[in-house]
Chain A
């Protein structure tokens, strides 16, 4: 597990105790919408510098879980701690300024330029203009966009892949301690998605980011995740490294899930063999 930044034994986190480097803790968290249970009694930790994937089908509660970390949804019961501090004790907007957030629908503000979009959280915090400009250019370069070319464009002048890159840059802008990503590459074509995943792996390695990444795509989870938490009907089924999941799936659901990439690969292989000259 990579440890990037922060002492392993943070004095502010007595709860973390033996785990030491846990940055995010979900402690017996539940969320109900009316009578329906979205998340039930879920406990998870994310260590510093770790990328945890929340994996599951639709209705599994993975997005609800993610959004409870930055309080876009508030838990019905249980506690979420960031760096040992109960998130309910912070004003929500201040909490969210410390947590980068990127999601599938991107949500770039159409009336703002790319630079204004990326620099929005720093400007809310009150950074100086020059510092924001420098940060914006650095981040655009980091997500492999030419700052000079895109800085003053409006979001609707960019392709879907470029917009998502800007979305990731915006999430990173205020040097957040945590990055939350909700299927950020879900709406992109396979080639673009592949390139963005590749960029993201590199960015994360460079910055040593702590992140929680929601997806329903097993291949994406295996590629990006340090650990994978499998959710089903609001409950945590299994959490472990990709290798652990592949080696010892907790039940049939997890087994089927981890086997999908292999089945797809087998299918491609058999098609190749059938099409090859005898």
Chain B
């Protein structure tokens, strides 16, 4: 348990990074898009439909499908990037939908009054429609927050560090302490973030400035911490980390750990990055095309490094 808890700062930070960055991008895209859609009925159907389609894709499948897409574009296809893209896509719909609904729900009498007192379209939006729609928009952000925290646990298979690391490796190695720590931490994080956004929502709705300020301070602190964690990573990670690939089964984890331990002991470096693909001989070229040189070694037992060529003649396999 203690060794599991020792991993918590790393995993929790990774999870926070994923969640908060994805949410920020999702909110920064969907609120303006929602405003635009509420002004153009045609765009509204299109945008909501598209976001709805994305939402029907199961979370893990959405994250997984980003990997080959990025690879096809020649971009880094495992790690932080695919996870962020998947999570952001998933967070779009609730915010988008609530922005459109919130603006649509503004009493027509108030829109008439806004025009009647001499507001321009922009002033009507800023002074009347957005403030009145704000509680609904924030409620959408809240929904997106809970979803994103939950879905971020699924970003382990695409190679991003999150609390999902506990859950996936724990299930794989039947280390239930790890599963428990991971699940509890993810649930706890969801509760904390949900509470903060809920406080923001309630503060806006009940016109309680202190509550709004408190919620914003809390969220601001978390964002500040996330920004700092990126800065630390950038400072400490000037040199490219050594990446050890491993398949998702027990021996692989053990071998990867042994190899990692050995490297740490020999070099004093201590960066671990959990990959998802094995650079088998035949696939190595393909992998190189996929990931560039992002995987340095593959600790699979030698016998399985054999690739049958032109049939199943294992004896002709060449050990690496």
Contacts and interface: CB of A to CB of B under 8 A. Distances in A.
Interface residues of A, number: 24
Interface residues of B, number: 18
Contacts of B116: 70, 72, 96, 101, 103, 107
Contacts of B118: 93-97, 121, 124-125, 174
Contact of A72 (B115, B119, B123): B115
Given A120-B117, A121-B118, A124-B119, A107 B112 contact: yes
Interface stretch (A4-12, A54-62, A108-116, A243-251): A108-116
Given A111-B131, A111-B132, A124-B123, A105 B115 contact: no
A22 interface: no
Contact of B115 (A94, A96, A125, A170): A96
A107 B107 CA distance: 9
B267 interface: no
Nearest to B124: A93
Interface in A160-199: 170, 174
B113 A96 contact: no
A109 B113 contact: yes
Contacts of A39: none
A97 B123 CA distance: 13
B252 to A, nearest CB: 58
A107 B113 contact: yes
B117 A72 contact: no
B120 A107 contact: no
Nearest to A180: B116
A93 B110 contact: no
A92 B118 CA distance: 8
B109 interface: yes
Interface in A3-62: none
B123 A107 contact: no
27 contacts: A70-B116, A72-B112, A92-B115, A93-B115, A93-B120, A94-B118, A96-B116, A96-B117, A97-B117, A97-B118, A103-B109, A103-B116, A105-B109, A105-B112, A107-B107, A107-B109, A107-B110, A109-B114, A109-B127, A109-B132, A110-B132, A120-B127, A121-B117, A124-B118, A124-B119, A124-B123, A170-B117
Given A120-B119, A154-B207, 6 more contacts: A72-B112, A72-B115, A72-B116, A95-B118, A96-B115, A109-B132
